[in-house]
Structure 1
Amino acid sequence: MWVVLGFVAQAMFTGRFIVQWIASERARRSVVPVAFWTLSLAGGALLLVYAIHRRDPVFIAGQAAGLIVYLRNLKLIANEKRGAPATVRPSGQGPSTTNSG
C-alpha cells in the first residue's frame, strides 16, 4: 500500500509540470496555473506522508518546506481573486498583496 501511495503522490507531483507546460504552450508565454499549485500541494502532502512513513529526515524536510511555498502561493491567488489591494513595498521590491482586515 505504501509503495502505491508513493507512486500516486509522485505522479501528482510530476503531473504539475505537464499542466504548467500545456498552459504555457496555449498562452505562448510562461504561465503557472492554479492547478500547478494545487497538484504541488496534493502531491507534496502525500509525498510527505510517505517520507514520514519511511522515516527519511532529508525527504521529510524537503517536502515540508515545499508545502509552505505551495500554500503561500495558493493564499496569494485567493487574495487576488477576492480583490485584495496590491501595494508596492517601500524598499522597491515590487508589489505585494496585503490583507487589511
Structure 2
Amino acid sequence: MDKLIIGIDYWLIIGFIGQALFSARFIVQWLKSEKEKKSVFPVAFWYFSIAGGVTLLAYAIHRKDPVFIVGQATGLFIYFRNLYFVIYERKSLNAE
C-alpha cells in the first residue's frame, strides 16, 4: 500500500521532501552569512535541520537502513541540542 494507483512511491516522495528540507538549511545559512558578512547559523538552520532529519529518519526506518537510521538519529540529537542552546540564550538575554 506504499504506492498510488498510478505507481508513484509515497516513500520516495517523502525521502525527496526530507532531502529538500535538509538541503534548504544550507541555503538559509549561506544567505544569512552573506548578509552578516561572517559565518552565522540562524535559528531557521536548526529548524530545517530538524524537519529534514525527522523526515529522512522516517524514510530510513521505512527502508530499514541501520546506517542511515543511526546517522539521522545522531544528527537529530545534535540539532535539538543546538536549538535548545539558542532558545536558552535568548531567554537569558530577555531576562536581563
The answer, yes or no, to whether TM exceeds 0.5 is yes
1:59 aligns with 2:31: no
Higher strand share: 1
Code of the aligned partner of 1:74:
L
Query: Which structure has more helix as a fraction of its residues?
Result: 2
- Counterparts of 1:81-96 in structure 2, within 5 Å, are 81-83=90-92
Aligned residue pair count: 84
TM-score (norm 2): 0.86
Q: Which runs of 5+ in 1 are unaligned?
A: 85-101
Aligned-residue Cα RMSD (Å) equals 0.8
Question: Structure 1 vs Structure 2: percent identity of aligned residues?
Answer: 56
The list of structure 1 runs, each at least 4 consecutive aligned residues, that deviate by more than 4 angstroms after superposition, is: none
Aligned equivalents of 1:13 and 1:76: distance in 2?
Answer: 20
Consecutive unaligned residues of structure 2, counting only runs of 5 or more, are: 1-9
* Structure with bigger RCO (C-alpha 8 Å, 6+ apart): 2
Which residue is 1:34 aligned to?
43
